[in-house]
């Protein structure tokens, strides 16, 4: 999905940027609205799932909305932030998908409501779930923090002050969904997850000897999640990302490099902004994720005070009816979204 976002950016700045330059502001509005809708719907659908792979799939859709905001702002700084966020999120989510595969291998099921407390002996996998949730929240020291800082700071500079709040919401609700799995499956806290139609769809294990976790599966998952941390150790990586994004958006220069094999000097590196505000924002997202996850597994104890968590998990009846998680629904929504986005662009250019 991240590669799809890159392809949109590459084609736009290579082919259409010159012709569409007079409509840059309108295009920005279309992409930012699309980003908000994608993030919000993906976030709500993520928390409403109990099939582990669907939780992660809808989380990816929600985070793709954040990345789309980075593309839609149409500035080198925001695009550099998109690149960092896409790389960091991609490796973190890849590690979490491998962790879901380990759960399926060891426990022979993948529905959250069927796994309550059954993962207590899987401490390494449990630790990776916590680290992955921390990365999805964009907290330090994961590279998602660097991408968030560049996109959010650029959005504020361009009077789109609501974008950082969108990041907080998406990072909080998707990280909370992963933490909820950790509390229920690996710690056995609270009551079992509520059963819904979607969670009844189970997958057949494709591996043998479920008594042991293949070391290569665990090492690969850990390596991917830790790669999300090592990105932050590269000196000046935000400045480097912004410089390369500036070259990425410079159509004449890119044409010279590709068609004429020209060796052009790179622009001077940009000064990096401080991370204090981003650390605070992502810290808030991390705390909200922890509170929401704890509230979900504790609502039986506190009753009506935490009833809203049940509505988040099972109250999205309309959304569930519109997207069952089957491949046909993905195709239908992709086609509908493409048609709406294309129609919006045509209306702007009429």
Q: What are 108-156's pLDDT values in tens digits?
A: 888 888 898 999 999 999 999 999 999 999 999 999 999 999 999 999 9
Give the whole-number percent of the chain exceeding pLDDT 70: 89
Q: What is the mean pLDDT of residues 225-240?
A: 91
- At residue 348, does pLDDT exceed 90? no
pLDDT at 98: 94
- At residue 241, does pLDDT exceed 80? yes
Q: Please count the structural domains in the chain.
A: 1
pLDDT at 197: 59
Q: Report the distance separating Cα 289 and Cα 181, nearest Å.
A: 12
pLDDT at 264: 67
pLDDT at 316: 67
Q: Which domain holds residue 48?
A: 2-348
- At residue 269, does pLDDT exceed 80? no
Mean pLDDT of the chain: 86
Q: How is residue 204 written in tokens? A: 């057949």
173 Cβ neighbours under 8 A, 6+ residues apart: 43, 44, 46, 47, 62, 289, 292
Q: Report the distance separating Cα 310 and Cα 312, nearest Å.
A: 5
Q: In terms of pLDDT, which residue wins out, 142 or 8?
A: 142
Q: Report the distance separating Cα 34 and Cα 30, nearest Å.
A: 6
Q: What are 196-207's pLDDT values in tens digits?
A: 655 555 566 666
Q: Minimum mean pLDDT among 13-17, 161-165, 258-262: which range?
A: 258-262
């Amino acid at each position: 999905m991240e590669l799809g976002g890159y392809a949109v950016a590459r084609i736009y700045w290579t082919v259409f940027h010159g012709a569409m330059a007079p409509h840059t502001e309108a295009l920005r509005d279309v992409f930012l609205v699309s980003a908000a809708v994608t993030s919000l719907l993906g976030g709500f659908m993520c928390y409403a799932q109990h099939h582990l792979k669907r939780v992660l799939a809808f989380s990816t859709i929600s985070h793709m909305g954040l990345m789309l905001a980075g593309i839609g702002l149409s500035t080198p700084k925001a695009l550099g932030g998109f690149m960092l966020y896409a790389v960091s999120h991609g490796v973190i989510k890849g590690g979490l998908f491998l962790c879901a595969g380990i759960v399926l291998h060891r426990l022979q099921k993948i529905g959250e409501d069927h796994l309550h407390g059954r993962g207590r002996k899987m401490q390494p996998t449990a630790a990776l779930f916590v680290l992955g949730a921390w990365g999805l929240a964009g907290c330090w020291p994961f590279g998602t923090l660097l991408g968030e800082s560049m996109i959010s700071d650029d959005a504020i500079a361009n009077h789109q002050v609501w974008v950082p709040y969108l990041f907080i919401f998406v990072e909080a609700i998707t990280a909370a969904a992963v933490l909820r799995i950790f509390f229920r499956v690996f710690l056995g806290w609270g009551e079992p997850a509520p059963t819904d139609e979607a969670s009844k769809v189970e997958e057949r294990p494709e591996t043998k000897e479920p008594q042991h976790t293949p070391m290569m599966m665990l090492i690969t998952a850990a390596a991917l999640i830790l790669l999300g941390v090592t990105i932050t150790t590269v000196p000046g990586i935000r400045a480097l990302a912004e410089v390369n994004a500036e070259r990425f958006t410079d159509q004449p220069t890119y044409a010279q490099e590709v068609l004429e094999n020209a060796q052009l000097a790179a622009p001077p590196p940009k000064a990096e902004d401080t991370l204090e505000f981003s650390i605070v924002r992502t810290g808030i997202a991390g705390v909200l994720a922890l509170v929401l996850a704890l509230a979900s597994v504790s609502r039986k104890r506190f009753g009506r005070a935490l009833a809203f968590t049940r509505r988040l998990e099972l109250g999205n009846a309309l959304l569930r009816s519109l997207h069952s998680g089957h491949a046909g629904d993905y195709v239908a929504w992709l086609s509908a979204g493409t048609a709406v986005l294309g129609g919006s662009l045509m209306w702007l250019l009429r």
